[in-house]
Amino acid sequence: MKLQIKLSNLLLILNVLICSSVIQKSLGQDKNNRPPNFIIIFADDLGYGDLGVYGHPTIQTPNLDRMAYEGQKWTNFYAAASVCTPSRAALLTGRLTVRSGMSSNKRRVLYPNSSKGLPATEITLAEQLKQVGYKTACIGKWHLGHKEQYLPTNNGFDYYYGIPYSNDMNMVVDIPYWEYWKQPNEAIKTTHFNVPLMRNTEIIERPANQNTITGRYTDETISFIKKNKENPFFIYLAHNLPHIPLFVSKKFKGKSKRGLYGDVLEEIDHGVGKIIAVLKEEGLENNTIVVFTSDNGPWLSFELNGGSAGVLRAGKGTTWEGGMREPGIFWGPGLIKPGLIIGLGSTMDLFTTFSSLAGAKIPGDRIIDGYDLSETLLHGKPSPREKLFYYRGTDLYAVRLGDYKAHYITEGEYGQFGKKEAHNPPILYNLSTDPEERFDIANENPNIIKEINSLISQHRSKLVLGQDQLVEIE
Residues 373 and 451 in one domain: no
What is the per-residue pLDDT across 322-342, written as a single tens digit (0 to 9) for each?
999 999 999 999 899 999 999
**Residue 32 — very low, low, confident or very high, per pLDDT cuts 50/70/90?**
low
- For residues 320 and 411, state if they share a domain: no
| Domain contains 22 | no
In a domain, residue 309? The reply is yes
Average pLDDT value for residue range 131-159? 98
Taking the C-alpha atoms of residue 340 and residue 27, their distance in angstroms, rounded to an integer, is 33
Spatial separation of the C-alpha atoms in residues 85 and 375, rounded to whole Å: 30
Same domain? For 306 and 182 the reply is yes
pLDDT at residue 7 is higher than 90: no
Tell me the residue range of the domain where 424 lies.
389-461
CATH number where 373 lies: 3.40.720.10
Q: How far apart are CA 286 and CA 336, in angstroms?
A: 9
Q: How many distinct helices (H) and strands (E) make up the chain?
A: 11, 14
**Residue 21 domain-assigned (yes or no):** no
Residues 112 and 189 in one domain: yes
Same domain, 41 and 164: yes
C-beta separation of 388 from 300 below 8 A: no
Q: In sequence order, which residues have a C-beta less than 8 Å from that of residue 203 and are 6 or more positions away?
A: 196, 197
Of 13 and 268, more confident: 268
pLDDT at 415: 77
What is the number of structural domains in the chain?
2
Whether 2 has a pLDDT exceeding 50, the answer reads: no
Cβ contact 390:397 at 8 Å: yes
Confirm whether 84 is a catalytic residue. Answer: yes
Q: What's the DSSP call for residue 442?
A: T
Choice among 143, 146, 239, 270 that is catalytic: 143
252, 158: one domain: yes
> How much is the average pLDDT of 177-199?
97
List Cβ neighbours of 164 (8 Å cut-off, separation of 6 or more).
141, 142, 143, 145, 146, 151, 196, 198
Radius of gyration of the chain (CA): 24
More confident residue, 56 or 22: 56
Residue 90: closest CA among 105, 79, 106: 79
Q: Using the predicted structure, report yes or no on whether residue 414 has a pLDDT greater than 90.
A: no
What is the DSSP code string of 149-179? GGSGGGTT-SEEEE-SS-TT-SB-SSS-HHH
Do residues 237 and 42 touch, judged by C-beta distance below 8 A?
yes
Give pLDDT tens digits for 154-176.
999 999 999 999 999 999 999 99
Residue where a domain stops, chosen among 331, 351, 381: 381
Based on the domain organization, do 317 and 439 belong to the same domain?
no
Strand partners, 38: 234, 289
- Whose CA is closest to 130, among 236, 275, 284, 27? 236
* 398 is a domain residue: yes
Residues 56, 84, 138, 146: which is the catalytic one? 84
Which DSSP symbol is given to 456? H
Domain shared by 275 and 415, yes or no: no
E strand or H helix that includes residue 246: none
As a whole number of angstroms, the distance between CA 34 and CA 48 comes to: 34
pLDDT bucket at 42, cuts 50 / 70 / 90:
very high
State the pLDDT at residue 17: 37
358 assigned to some structural domain: yes
Question: Quick one: 292 and 415 in the same domain?
Answer: no
Is residue 386 scored above 60 in pLDDT?
yes
The string of pLDDT tens digits covering residues 74-123 is: 999 999 999 999 999 999 999 999 999 999 999 999 999 999 999 999 99
| pLDDT tens, position by position, 235-264 | 999 999 999 999 999 999 999 999 999 999
Tell the burial category of 338 from Cβ atoms under 10 Å away from its Cβ (0-12, 13-18, 19+). middle
Final residue of a domain: which of 315, 350, 381?
381
As a residue count, the chain comes to 474
Task: Compute the distance between CA of residue 344 and CA of residue 432 in angstroms, rounded to an integer.
Answer: 11
Shared domain for 316 and 182, answered yes or no, is yes
Are 221 and 306 within one domain?
Answer: yes
> Percent of the chain beyond pLDDT 70?
93
CATH number at residue 404: 3.30.1120.10
Q: Is it the case that residue 347 has pLDDT exceeding 80?
A: yes
Contact by Cβ (8 Å): 263, 207: no
Note whether 371 and 429 are same-domain residues.
no
Give the number of other CB atoms < 10 A from CB of residue 452: 23
Q: Which of 381, 402, 420 is the last residue of a domain?
A: 381
State mean pLDDT over 291-316: 98
Question: CA 180 to CA 299: how far, in whole Å?
Answer: 16
pLDDT computed for residue 418 by the predictor = 85
- Strand arrangement, sheet containing 339-346: 202-205, 197-199, 159-162, 135-140, 233-238, 37-43, 288-294, 325-331, 72-78, 339-346
Residue 358 and residue 35: Cα distance in Å, rounded?
5
pLDDT at 190 over 50: yes
Q: Are 45 and 296 in contact (CB under 8 A)?
A: yes
In a domain, 180, yes or no: yes
DSSP calls for 375-438: HHHHH-PPPS--EEEEEETTEEEEEEETTEEEEEEE--BTTBS---EEEEEEEEEETTT-TT--
Please check whether residue 7 lies inside any domain of the structure: no
Has residue 216 been placed in a domain?
yes
